[in-house]
Amino acid sequence: MGDAIRTVVRYADGRVVSGVKSTVVIPGLQNSDRFLAGDEGYVGGLMDELAEDADDEAAEAAPALAPYGYGILVIDFTNMAVVDCNYYSPFATSGVHPAVLLQNQLSSLDGRDGIERMARMLAERRVSIERIPYRDPDGVVTEVLACDLAGLDAAVRDHYARVPYVDTGYARFVYDLAPWKVTHAREWEVLPALERLGFDVTDADREAWKTHMTGG
């Protein structure tokens, strides 16, 4: 199975493409200006490039909206919506400081485009911080203090400059991907969310999720 996730794309013409993809699809989308602009060609190319060889043929034969590996990621061009339920890295977030991502062109398959976009997001303050309490081995809970993003844009204007690592502890950075609306759904919320978007949810999809959630 490797680092794989069920990835579903519904294009503006209503066509739905579903497959098992490498989890690299997550940064490949969220770090790309072309995705942000609704470029169907870019997303389609990414889907083709990241085809993942499953451990068994049953993965590709499973219902289109069935989870696989780390879960499911649905990209819906008809509503400019994303429904995400995965245990790898929540979509539109990063546990690594954005300034660190700027150092690593491999964090985006779009290379320089992704780096420039992240620099603009920092400059426009389109990155917020979600504090995550940390429980140490002795059970002591510490609330992580959010670091200040002010001035980071100046530090990363040179794409190839060495940006010092900023240790934020257990903080998650959340990106504003407007006009895309991102929903982080729990397992039992995925199919209702897709139905509200107008997806055709089948009995086979429901049975696959039931099996997934009960471990059957």
Specify the pLDDT at position 141: 44
Specify the pLDDT at position 98: 61
Specify the pLDDT at position 196: 97
187-214 per-position pLDDT tens digit: 999 999 999 999 999 999 999 999 988 8
* H or E segment to which residue 44 belongs: helix 40-49
Number of helical (H) and strand (E) elements in the chain, helices listed first? 9, 10
For residue 212, count CB atoms less than 10 angstroms from its CB and return exposed for 0-12, middle for 13-18, buried for 19 or more: middle
Q: Compute the distance between CA of residue 85 and CA of residue 168 in angstroms, rounded to an integer.
A: 25
Sign of the four-CA dihedral 65, 68, 72, 75: negative
72-98 b/e with 16+ CB inside 10 Å = b? bbbbbbeeebbbbbbeebbbbbbeebb
Among 46-50, 99-103, 117-121, top mean pLDDT goes to 46-50
* H or E segment to which residue 4 belongs: strand 4-10
52-109 per-position pLDDT tens digit: 554 456 666 778 899 998 999 999 999 999 999 998 888 888 766 665 555 554 344 4
Q: Compute the distance between CA of residue 180 and CA of residue 75 in angstroms, rounded to an integer.
A: 9
Specify the pLDDT at position 96: 62
The DSSP secondary structure of 120-143, one letter per residue, reads HHHHTT-EEEEE--EE-TT--EEP
Q: Which amino acid is at 166?
A: V
Specify the pLDDT at position 74: 97
138-168 per-position pLDDT tens digit: 554 444 333 444 444 444 444 334 434 444 4
Q: Compute the distance between CA of residue 97 and CA of residue 156 in angstroms, rounded to an integer.
A: 12
Task: Report the predicted TM-score, pTM, of the whole model to 2 decimal places.
Answer: 0.75
Q: What is the CA radius of gyration of the chain?
A: 18
pLDDT band for position 128 (50/70/90)?
confident
Q: Which of 17-31, 85-99, 139-153, 170-184 has the lowest mean pLDDT?
A: 139-153
The tokens 């680092």 sit on which residue? 3
Specify the pLDDT at position 150: 46
Domain architecture of the chain: domains with CATH:
1-92+177-216 (3.30.420), 94-173 (no CATH)
Rounded average pLDDT over 17-43: 88
Q: Compute the distance between CA of residue 144 and CA of residue 117 in angstroms, rounded to an integer.
A: 27
Specify the pLDDT at position 12: 96
The tokens 């509200």 sit on which residue? 196
